[in-house]
A and B are shown apart, each in its own frame.
Chain A
Protein backbone atom coordinates (compact mmCIF):
# COMPACT_ATOMS: atom_id res chain seq x y z
CA UNK A 1 0.00 0.00 0.00
CA UNK A 2 2.68 2.43 1.07
CA UNK A 3 4.88 1.69 -1.93
CA UNK A 4 1.87 2.20 -4.18
CA UNK A 5 1.29 5.68 -2.78
CA UNK A 6 4.98 6.54 -3.03
CA UNK A 7 4.94 5.24 -6.60
CA UNK A 8 1.98 7.42 -7.46
CA UNK A 9 3.61 10.53 -6.00
CA UNK A 10 6.78 9.84 -7.98
CA UNK A 11 4.74 9.36 -11.15
CA UNK A 12 2.86 12.60 -10.41
CA UNK A 13 6.05 14.64 -10.09
CA UNK A 14 7.73 12.92 -13.03
CA UNK A 15 4.81 13.46 -15.43
CA UNK A 16 4.44 17.14 -14.49
CA UNK A 17 8.15 17.82 -14.98
CA UNK A 18 8.22 15.82 -18.23
CA UNK A 19 5.26 17.79 -19.53
CA UNK A 20 6.47 21.22 -18.41
CA UNK A 21 10.14 20.91 -19.28
CA UNK A 22 10.14 18.65 -22.34
CA UNK A 23 6.78 18.10 -24.03
CA UNK A 24 5.61 21.71 -23.89
CA UNK A 25 8.58 22.59 -26.05
CA UNK A 26 7.42 20.28 -28.81
CA UNK A 27 5.47 22.21 -31.41
CA UNK A 28 5.25 20.69 -34.83
CA UNK A 29 3.85 23.12 -37.36
CA UNK A 30 2.35 25.23 -34.60
CA UNK A 31 -0.52 22.77 -34.23
CA UNK A 32 0.64 19.79 -32.28
CA UNK A 33 1.12 19.99 -28.54
CA UNK A 34 0.86 16.63 -26.79
CA UNK A 35 -0.43 16.56 -23.21
CA UNK A 36 0.95 13.31 -21.86
CA UNK A 37 0.62 14.31 -18.18
CA UNK A 38 -3.04 13.15 -18.12
CA UNK A 39 -1.54 9.67 -18.14
CA UNK A 40 -1.58 10.07 -14.37
CA UNK A 41 -5.38 10.06 -14.35
CA UNK A 42 -5.58 7.34 -17.00
CA UNK A 43 -3.45 5.04 -14.87
CA UNK A 44 -5.26 5.43 -11.55
CA UNK A 45 -6.53 2.08 -10.25
CA UNK A 46 -10.15 1.09 -10.95
CA UNK A 47 -11.12 0.95 -7.28
CA UNK A 48 -9.97 4.52 -6.60
CA UNK A 49 -12.81 6.49 -4.98
CA UNK A 50 -14.32 8.86 -7.58
CA UNK A 51 -14.10 11.90 -5.31
CA UNK A 52 -10.39 11.26 -4.68
CA UNK A 53 -9.92 11.13 -8.45
CA UNK A 54 -11.56 14.54 -8.66
CA UNK A 55 -9.23 16.03 -6.04
CA UNK A 56 -6.20 14.44 -7.70
CA UNK A 57 -7.32 15.89 -11.05
CA UNK A 58 -7.61 19.28 -9.42
CA UNK A 59 -4.09 19.06 -7.99
CA UNK A 60 -2.63 17.83 -11.25
CA UNK A 61 -4.24 20.69 -13.15
CA UNK A 62 -3.12 23.19 -10.55
CA UNK A 63 0.54 22.24 -10.79
CA UNK A 64 0.42 22.25 -14.59
CA UNK A 65 -1.12 25.72 -14.48
CA UNK A 66 1.64 26.96 -12.22
CA UNK A 67 4.21 25.79 -14.72
CA UNK A 68 2.54 27.03 -17.87
CA UNK A 69 1.17 30.28 -16.44
CA UNK A 70 -2.39 29.55 -17.53
CA UNK A 71 -4.53 29.90 -14.40
CA UNK A 72 -7.61 27.67 -14.36
CA UNK A 73 -7.09 26.18 -17.79
CA UNK A 74 -5.49 22.84 -16.93
CA UNK A 75 -7.56 22.61 -13.73
CA UNK A 76 -10.88 22.79 -15.53
CA UNK A 77 -9.82 20.30 -18.19
CA UNK A 78 -8.42 17.83 -15.62
CA UNK A 79 -11.40 18.08 -13.27
CA UNK A 80 -13.74 17.49 -16.17
CA UNK A 81 -11.64 14.53 -17.25
CA UNK A 82 -11.69 13.02 -13.74
CA UNK A 83 -15.45 13.43 -13.62
CA UNK A 84 -15.97 11.77 -17.01
CA UNK A 85 -13.68 8.91 -16.03
CA UNK A 86 -16.25 7.41 -13.67
CA UNK A 87 -18.84 7.23 -16.46
CA UNK A 88 -16.43 6.02 -19.12
CA UNK A 89 -15.28 3.21 -16.81
CA UNK A 90 -18.90 2.25 -16.19
CA UNK A 91 -19.59 2.33 -19.93
CA UNK A 92 -16.62 0.13 -20.78
CA UNK A 93 -16.85 -2.28 -17.85
CA UNK A 94 -16.85 -6.00 -18.62
CA UNK A 95 -20.07 -7.90 -17.82
CA UNK A 96 -18.85 -9.17 -14.46
CA UNK A 97 -17.24 -5.85 -13.44
CA UNK A 98 -13.59 -5.06 -12.96
CA UNK A 99 -11.50 -7.62 -11.16
CA UNK A 100 -9.97 -6.32 -7.96
CA UNK A 101 -6.35 -5.17 -8.30
CA UNK A 102 -6.40 -4.81 -12.06
CA UNK A 103 -4.94 -1.69 -13.59
CA UNK A 104 -6.18 0.10 -16.68
CA UNK A 105 -3.34 -0.77 -19.06
CA UNK A 106 -2.80 -2.81 -22.21
CA UNK A 107 -1.26 -5.82 -20.49
CA UNK A 108 -4.15 -6.43 -18.14
CA UNK A 109 -7.14 -5.12 -20.08
CA UNK A 110 -6.17 -5.89 -23.65
CA UNK A 111 -5.41 -3.65 -26.60
CA UNK A 112 -8.97 -3.04 -27.81
CA UNK A 113 -10.21 -1.98 -24.38
CA UNK A 114 -7.26 0.30 -23.79
CA UNK A 115 -7.49 1.98 -27.18
CA UNK A 116 -11.18 2.83 -26.62
CA UNK A 117 -10.59 3.96 -23.06
CA UNK A 118 -7.58 6.19 -23.65
CA UNK A 119 -8.95 7.45 -26.97
CA UNK A 120 -12.14 8.75 -25.39
CA UNK A 121 -10.35 10.16 -22.34
CA UNK A 122 -7.70 11.99 -24.37
CA UNK A 123 -10.27 13.47 -26.72
CA UNK A 124 -12.41 14.72 -23.82
CA UNK A 125 -9.46 16.37 -22.11
CA UNK A 126 -8.18 18.01 -25.29
CA UNK A 127 -11.67 19.14 -26.28
CA UNK A 128 -12.23 21.00 -23.01
CA UNK A 129 -8.66 22.27 -22.88
CA UNK A 130 -8.40 23.75 -26.38
CA UNK A 131 -11.84 25.37 -26.37
CA UNK A 132 -11.25 26.91 -22.96
CA UNK A 133 -7.88 28.11 -24.20
CA UNK A 134 -9.36 29.78 -27.28
CA UNK A 135 -12.24 30.96 -25.08
CA UNK A 136 -14.52 31.52 -28.05
CA UNK A 137 -16.16 29.59 -30.84
CA UNK A 138 -14.95 32.12 -33.39
CA UNK A 139 -12.22 29.82 -34.59
CA UNK A 140 -14.33 26.69 -34.19
CA UNK A 141 -12.90 24.54 -36.97
CA UNK A 142 -9.37 25.75 -36.51
CA UNK A 143 -9.52 24.76 -32.85
CA UNK A 144 -11.15 21.44 -33.74
CA UNK A 145 -8.28 20.68 -36.09
CA UNK A 146 -5.79 21.40 -33.31
CA UNK A 147 -7.76 19.12 -30.96
CA UNK A 148 -7.79 16.22 -33.40
CA UNK A 149 -4.15 16.46 -34.40
CA UNK A 150 -2.93 16.89 -30.81
CA UNK A 151 -5.16 14.05 -29.60
CA UNK A 152 -3.65 11.68 -32.12
CA UNK A 153 -0.15 12.67 -31.07
CA UNK A 154 -0.92 12.31 -27.36
CA UNK A 155 -2.53 8.96 -28.08
CA UNK A 156 0.61 7.71 -29.79
CA UNK A 157 2.72 8.81 -26.81
CA UNK A 158 0.33 7.18 -24.33
CA UNK A 159 0.46 3.89 -26.23
CA UNK A 160 4.24 4.04 -26.52
CA UNK A 161 4.60 4.68 -22.80
CA UNK A 162 2.56 1.51 -22.21
CA UNK A 163 5.12 -0.53 -24.06
CA UNK A 164 7.99 1.20 -22.28
CA UNK A 165 6.69 -0.05 -18.94
CA UNK A 166 5.82 -3.49 -20.29
CA UNK A 167 8.76 -5.52 -19.01
CA UNK A 168 8.58 -4.14 -15.54
CA UNK A 169 4.98 -5.21 -15.16
CA UNK A 170 5.10 -8.76 -16.56
CA UNK A 171 7.78 -10.18 -14.33
Chain B
Protein backbone atom coordinates (compact mmCIF):
# COMPACT_ATOMS: atom_id res chain seq x y z
CA UNK B 1 0.00 0.00 0.00
CA UNK B 2 2.77 2.36 1.00
CA UNK B 3 4.64 1.52 -2.16
CA UNK B 4 1.59 2.28 -4.24
CA UNK B 5 1.12 5.67 -2.60
CA UNK B 6 4.79 6.38 -3.12
CA UNK B 7 4.50 5.45 -6.75
CA UNK B 8 1.49 7.71 -7.25
CA UNK B 9 3.22 10.56 -5.42
CA UNK B 10 6.34 10.24 -7.56
CA UNK B 11 4.33 10.37 -10.76
CA UNK B 12 1.64 12.76 -9.52
CA UNK B 13 2.13 14.99 -12.56
CA UNK B 14 1.29 12.22 -15.03
CA UNK B 15 -1.57 10.91 -12.92
CA UNK B 16 -3.11 14.34 -12.58
CA UNK B 17 -2.77 14.81 -16.32
CA UNK B 18 -4.48 11.48 -17.03
CA UNK B 19 -7.26 12.29 -14.57
CA UNK B 20 -7.98 15.73 -16.05
CA UNK B 21 -7.74 14.46 -19.62
CA UNK B 22 -10.14 11.60 -18.90
CA UNK B 23 -12.58 14.00 -17.25
CA UNK B 24 -12.51 16.36 -20.21
CA UNK B 25 -12.76 13.53 -22.70
CA UNK B 26 -15.76 12.21 -20.81
CA UNK B 27 -17.45 15.63 -20.99
CA UNK B 28 -16.61 15.82 -24.68
CA UNK B 29 -18.06 12.41 -25.54
CA UNK B 30 -21.15 12.98 -23.41
CA UNK B 31 -21.80 16.26 -25.14
CA UNK B 32 -21.44 14.69 -28.57
CA UNK B 33 -24.01 12.11 -27.56
CA UNK B 34 -26.55 14.39 -25.98
CA UNK B 35 -25.70 17.53 -27.90
CA UNK B 36 -24.51 19.74 -25.07
CA UNK B 37 -27.59 19.01 -23.01
CA UNK B 38 -26.29 19.39 -19.47
CA UNK B 39 -23.36 21.68 -19.99
CA UNK B 40 -25.08 24.52 -21.77
CA UNK B 41 -28.14 24.79 -19.57
CA UNK B 42 -26.17 25.79 -16.50
CA UNK B 43 -23.70 28.11 -18.20
CA UNK B 44 -25.84 29.62 -20.93
CA UNK B 45 -27.34 32.25 -18.66
CA UNK B 46 -23.96 33.65 -17.58
CA UNK B 47 -22.11 33.73 -20.89
CA UNK B 48 -25.39 34.63 -22.59
CA UNK B 49 -25.78 37.83 -20.63
CA UNK B 50 -22.17 38.83 -21.36
CA UNK B 51 -22.68 38.27 -25.06
CA UNK B 52 -25.96 40.20 -24.92
CA UNK B 53 -24.09 43.13 -23.38
CA UNK B 54 -21.48 43.12 -26.12
CA UNK B 55 -24.15 42.78 -28.74
CA UNK B 56 -25.80 45.98 -27.53
CA UNK B 57 -22.59 47.75 -28.56
CA UNK B 58 -21.90 46.06 -31.85
CA UNK B 59 -25.37 45.91 -33.37
CA UNK B 60 -25.04 49.52 -34.50
CA UNK B 61 -22.40 48.50 -37.00
CA UNK B 62 -24.85 46.18 -38.73
CA UNK B 63 -27.78 48.56 -38.46
CA UNK B 64 -27.74 49.89 -42.00
CA UNK B 65 -27.63 46.50 -43.65
CA UNK B 66 -30.23 45.15 -41.23
CA UNK B 67 -32.59 47.97 -42.12
CA UNK B 68 -32.20 47.17 -45.79
CA UNK B 69 -32.98 43.52 -45.17
CA UNK B 70 -36.05 44.33 -43.13
CA UNK B 71 -37.31 46.83 -45.70
CA UNK B 72 -36.88 44.25 -48.43
CA UNK B 73 -38.75 41.68 -46.40
CA UNK B 74 -41.56 44.14 -45.66
CA UNK B 75 -41.90 44.76 -49.36
CA UNK B 76 -42.09 41.05 -50.02
CA UNK B 77 -44.72 40.53 -47.34
CA UNK B 78 -46.75 43.44 -48.63
CA UNK B 79 -47.04 41.70 -51.98
CA UNK B 80 -48.73 38.81 -50.22
CA UNK B 81 -51.12 40.91 -48.16
CA UNK B 82 -54.80 40.87 -48.99
CA UNK B 83 -54.75 44.48 -50.15
CA UNK B 84 -52.39 43.65 -52.97
CA UNK B 85 -54.91 41.35 -54.62
CA UNK B 86 -58.03 42.20 -56.56
CA UNK B 87 -60.96 39.88 -56.71
CA UNK B 88 -61.33 38.42 -60.16
CA UNK B 89 -64.28 36.14 -59.47
CA UNK B 90 -67.91 36.79 -58.64
CA UNK B 91 -68.96 37.04 -55.04
CA UNK B 92 -70.83 33.76 -54.95
CA UNK B 93 -67.63 31.84 -55.62
CA UNK B 94 -66.52 32.76 -52.12
CA UNK B 95 -68.76 29.99 -50.84
CA UNK B 96 -66.22 27.45 -51.97
CA UNK B 97 -63.30 29.46 -50.65
CA UNK B 98 -60.84 27.37 -48.71
CA UNK B 99 -60.71 27.88 -45.00
CA UNK B 100 -57.09 28.18 -43.99
CA UNK B 101 -55.76 26.75 -40.79
CA UNK B 102 -52.62 28.29 -39.45
CA UNK B 103 -49.76 25.84 -39.14
CA UNK B 104 -46.69 27.98 -38.43
CA UNK B 105 -46.09 30.80 -36.01
CA UNK B 106 -43.02 33.05 -36.01
CA UNK B 107 -41.19 34.69 -33.15
CA UNK B 108 -38.45 37.21 -33.83
CA UNK B 109 -35.15 36.87 -31.99
CA UNK B 110 -31.71 38.43 -31.98
CA UNK B 111 -28.48 36.50 -32.52
CA UNK B 112 -26.10 37.37 -29.71
CA UNK B 113 -23.29 34.97 -30.54
CA UNK B 114 -22.43 32.83 -33.53
CA UNK B 115 -19.55 31.13 -35.27
CA UNK B 116 -18.80 30.09 -38.84
CA UNK B 117 -15.21 28.89 -38.73
CA UNK B 118 -15.59 25.69 -36.73
CA UNK B 119 -16.50 22.27 -38.05
CA UNK B 120 -19.61 22.36 -35.86
CA UNK B 121 -21.10 25.80 -35.50
CA UNK B 122 -23.64 27.09 -33.01
CA UNK B 123 -25.58 30.29 -32.49
CA UNK B 124 -27.03 31.74 -29.31
CA UNK B 125 -30.27 33.75 -29.49
CA UNK B 126 -31.86 35.96 -26.86
CA UNK B 127 -35.12 34.00 -26.48
CA UNK B 128 -35.69 31.05 -24.21
CA UNK B 129 -38.21 28.91 -22.41
CA UNK B 130 -39.95 31.98 -20.98
CA UNK B 131 -40.76 33.12 -24.52
CA UNK B 132 -42.02 29.68 -25.49
CA UNK B 133 -39.01 28.29 -27.32
CA UNK B 134 -38.62 24.51 -27.34
CA UNK B 135 -35.81 22.28 -28.63
CA UNK B 136 -36.36 21.11 -32.20
CA UNK B 137 -37.95 24.29 -33.53
CA UNK B 138 -36.61 25.69 -36.80
CA UNK B 139 -34.78 29.01 -37.09
CA UNK B 140 -34.86 31.09 -40.28
CA UNK B 141 -33.91 34.61 -41.27
CA UNK B 142 -35.19 36.89 -43.97
CA UNK B 143 -32.66 35.40 -46.41
CA UNK B 144 -33.13 31.71 -45.69
CA UNK B 145 -32.63 28.80 -43.33
CA UNK B 146 -30.41 29.24 -40.27
CA UNK B 147 -30.65 26.12 -38.09
CA UNK B 148 -32.54 24.18 -35.43
CA UNK B 149 -33.03 24.99 -31.74
CA UNK B 150 -30.84 22.74 -29.64
CA UNK B 151 -30.90 23.65 -25.98
CA UNK B 152 -33.13 26.11 -24.15
CA UNK B 153 -32.48 27.93 -20.90
CA UNK B 154 -34.73 30.51 -19.22
CA UNK B 155 -33.90 33.45 -21.48
CA UNK B 156 -31.47 32.11 -24.09
CA UNK B 157 -31.36 29.26 -26.58
CA UNK B 158 -28.56 27.66 -28.50
CA UNK B 159 -29.13 26.87 -32.15
CA UNK B 160 -27.41 24.15 -34.15
CA UNK B 161 -26.41 26.04 -37.25
CA UNK B 162 -26.88 24.62 -40.72
CA UNK B 163 -23.06 24.66 -40.63
CA UNK B 164 -22.89 21.59 -38.36
CA UNK B 165 -21.92 17.98 -38.95
CA UNK B 166 -25.24 16.66 -37.62
CA UNK B 167 -27.57 19.02 -39.46
CA UNK B 168 -29.50 17.39 -42.30
CA UNK B 169 -32.30 19.37 -43.88
CA UNK B 170 -34.89 17.97 -46.20
CA UNK B 171 -34.69 20.10 -49.36
CA UNK B 172 -36.06 20.15 -52.88
CA UNK B 173 -35.48 21.79 -56.23
CA UNK B 174 -38.04 24.52 -56.60
CA UNK B 175 -38.62 24.03 -60.32
CA UNK B 176 -39.46 20.32 -60.36
CA UNK B 177 -39.90 19.23 -56.73
CA UNK B 178 -37.19 16.53 -56.78
CA UNK B 179 -36.04 16.28 -53.21
CA UNK B 180 -32.80 15.44 -51.41
CA UNK B 181 -30.87 16.19 -48.27
CA UNK B 182 -28.93 19.39 -47.65
CA UNK B 183 -25.90 19.23 -45.39
CA UNK B 184 -22.61 21.03 -44.80
CA UNK B 185 -19.27 19.31 -45.31
CA UNK B 186 -17.04 21.87 -43.68
CA UNK B 187 -14.78 24.44 -45.28
CA UNK B 188 -16.33 27.53 -46.78
CA UNK B 189 -19.41 28.75 -44.92
CA UNK B 190 -20.94 30.11 -48.12
CA UNK B 191 -21.45 26.71 -49.74
CA UNK B 192 -23.27 23.52 -48.76
CA UNK B 193 -24.07 20.17 -50.37
CA UNK B 194 -27.30 18.69 -51.69
CA UNK B 195 -27.37 14.93 -52.17
CA UNK B 196 -29.84 12.25 -53.31
CA UNK B 197 -31.02 14.02 -56.47
CA UNK B 198 -31.24 11.30 -59.19
CA UNK B 199 -28.96 11.68 -62.22
CA UNK B 200 -31.71 12.00 -64.80
CA UNK B 201 -32.90 15.35 -63.40
CA UNK B 202 -31.98 18.28 -65.60
CA UNK B 203 -29.96 20.81 -63.66
CA UNK B 204 -28.54 24.18 -64.54
CA UNK B 205 -26.38 26.51 -62.52
CA UNK B 206 -28.54 28.90 -60.51
CA UNK B 207 -31.49 26.56 -59.88
CA UNK B 208 -33.23 27.47 -56.64
CA UNK B 209 -33.20 25.07 -53.70
CA UNK B 210 -35.89 25.41 -51.01
CA UNK B 211 -37.00 23.48 -47.91
CA UNK B 212 -39.45 20.62 -48.30
CA UNK B 213 -41.20 20.62 -44.92
CA UNK B 214 -40.72 16.87 -44.65
CA UNK B 215 -40.04 16.82 -40.93
CA UNK B 216 -42.30 19.73 -40.07
CA UNK B 217 -39.44 21.83 -38.70
CA UNK B 218 -39.42 24.41 -41.49
CA UNK B 219 -42.38 25.59 -43.56
CA UNK B 220 -42.30 24.57 -47.18
CA UNK B 221 -40.49 26.79 -49.65
CA UNK B 222 -38.02 28.60 -47.40
CA UNK B 223 -35.00 29.55 -49.50
CA UNK B 224 -31.81 27.53 -48.98
CA UNK B 225 -29.66 28.58 -51.89
CA UNK B 226 -28.78 28.25 -55.56
CA UNK B 227 -27.05 25.43 -57.43
CA UNK B 228 -23.42 26.22 -58.13
CA UNK B 229 -21.61 23.07 -59.29
CA UNK B 230 -22.85 19.54 -59.84
CA UNK B 231 -21.47 16.22 -61.02
CA UNK B 232 -22.38 12.54 -60.94
CA UNK B 233 -19.57 10.61 -59.27
CA UNK B 234 -18.55 7.64 -61.49
CA UNK B 235 -20.68 4.56 -60.85
CA UNK B 236 -23.35 6.40 -58.90
CA UNK B 237 -26.93 7.28 -59.64
CA UNK B 238 -27.17 10.48 -57.70
CA UNK B 239 -25.85 13.97 -58.23
CA UNK B 240 -23.34 15.54 -55.91
CA UNK B 241 -24.51 19.14 -55.88
CA UNK B 242 -22.63 22.06 -54.34
CA UNK B 243 -24.87 25.05 -53.77
CA UNK B 244 -24.43 28.61 -52.65
CA UNK B 245 -26.20 29.31 -49.35
CA UNK B 246 -28.62 32.22 -49.38
CA UNK B 247 -28.11 32.91 -45.66
CA UNK B 248 -25.07 35.02 -44.86
CA UNK B 249 -23.98 33.26 -41.71
CA UNK B 250 -21.18 35.66 -40.92
CA UNK B 251 -23.51 38.58 -40.40
CA UNK B 252 -26.70 37.15 -38.95
CA UNK B 253 -28.43 39.60 -36.64
CA UNK B 254 -32.18 39.09 -36.59
CA UNK B 255 -33.79 35.69 -37.01
CA UNK B 256 -37.22 34.10 -36.64
CA UNK B 257 -38.01 31.00 -34.64
CA UNK B 258 -40.64 28.83 -36.34
CA UNK B 259 -43.21 27.06 -34.21
CA UNK B 260 -45.14 24.31 -35.94
CA UNK B 261 -48.52 24.14 -34.24
CA UNK B 262 -49.42 20.86 -35.88
CA UNK B 263 -46.09 19.13 -35.25
CA UNK B 264 -47.41 16.98 -32.42
CA UNK B 265 -50.19 15.71 -34.60
CA UNK B 266 -47.77 14.83 -37.40
CA UNK B 267 -45.40 13.04 -35.04
CA UNK B 268 -48.15 10.93 -33.49
CA UNK B 269 -49.30 9.88 -36.93
CA UNK B 270 -45.78 9.02 -38.06
CA UNK B 271 -45.07 7.01 -34.91
CA UNK B 272 -48.26 5.01 -35.48
CA UNK B 273 -47.08 4.32 -38.95
CA UNK B 274 -43.77 2.91 -37.75
CA UNK B 275 -45.36 0.47 -35.33
| Residues of A participating in the B interface, judged by any CB pair closer than 8 Å | 20-21, 24, 26-27, 29-33, 50-51, 54-55, 57-58, 61, 65-73, 75-76, 79-80, 82-83, 86, 130, 132-135, 139, 142-143
Determine if B117 and A54 form an interchain contact, defined as CB atoms under 8 angstroms apart: no
Determine if B187 and A30 form an interchain contact, defined as CB atoms under 8 angstroms apart: yes
Q: How far is the CA of A138 from the CA of B188 in the complex (A)?
A: 17
Determine if B24 and A79 form an interchain contact, defined as CB atoms under 8 angstroms apart: yes
Q: Do A33 and B13 form a contact, CB below 8 Å, given A71-B28, A76-B21, A79-B21?
A: no
Contact of A27 among B16, B31, B117, B120 (CB under 8 A): B117
Q: Which of B38-46, B70-78, B141-149, B227-235 contacts A (4 or more CB under 8 A)?
A: B38-46
Q: How large is the interface on B (under 10, 10 to 19, 20 to 34, 35 or more residues)?
A: 35 or more
Contact of B116 among A30, A73, A83 (CB under 8 A): A30
Q: How far is the CB of B88 from chain A (nearest CB, A)?
A: 49
Determine if B36 and A69 form an interchain contact, defined as CB atoms under 8 angstroms apart: yes
B25 close to A (CB within 8 Å): yes
Q: How far is the CB of A170 from chain B (nearest CB, A)?
A: 34
Q: How far is the CB of A14 from chain B (nearest CB, A)?
A: 14
Binary contact track B170-203/A, C-beta < 8 Å → 1, others 0: 0000000000000000111110000000000000
Q: Do A142 and B186 form a contact, CB below 8 Å, given A51-B13, A79-B17, A134-B119?
A: yes
A residues in contact with B47, CB < 8 Å: 20, 66-67, 69
Contact of B54 among A21, A86, A139 (CB under 8 A): A21
Q: Do A142 and B24 form a contact, CB below 8 Å, given A51-B12, A72-B31?
A: no
Q: How far is the CB of A86 from chain B (nearest CB, A)?
A: 7
Closest to B17 in A: A83
Determine if B21 and A80 form an interchain contact, defined as CB atoms under 8 angstroms apart: yes
- The list of the 8 closest CB pairs from A to B, nearest first, reads A72-B28, A72-B27, A27-B117, A71-B39, A75-B24, A76-B24, A71-B31, A33-B117
Q: How far is the CB of B36 from chain A (nearest CB, A)?
A: 6
Q: How far is the CA of A133 from the CA of B119 in the complex (A)?
A: 7
Q: How far is the CB of A9 from chain B (nearest CB, A)?
A: 18
A residues in contact with B125, CB < 8 Å: none
Q: How far is the CB of A16 from chain B (nearest CB, A)?
A: 11
B residues in contact with A130, CB < 8 Å: 119
Determine if B25 and A72 form an interchain contact, defined as CB atoms under 8 angstroms apart: yes
The CB with the most chain A CB atoms within 10 A, among B24, B29, B51, B120, is that of B24
Besides A21-B54, A70-B120, 16 other CB < 8 A contacts? A20-B47, A24-B115, A30-B116, A31-B187, A33-B117, A69-B39, A69-B122, A72-B27, A72-B29, A75-B28, A76-B28, A79-B17, A79-B21, A83-B13, A86-B13, A130-B119
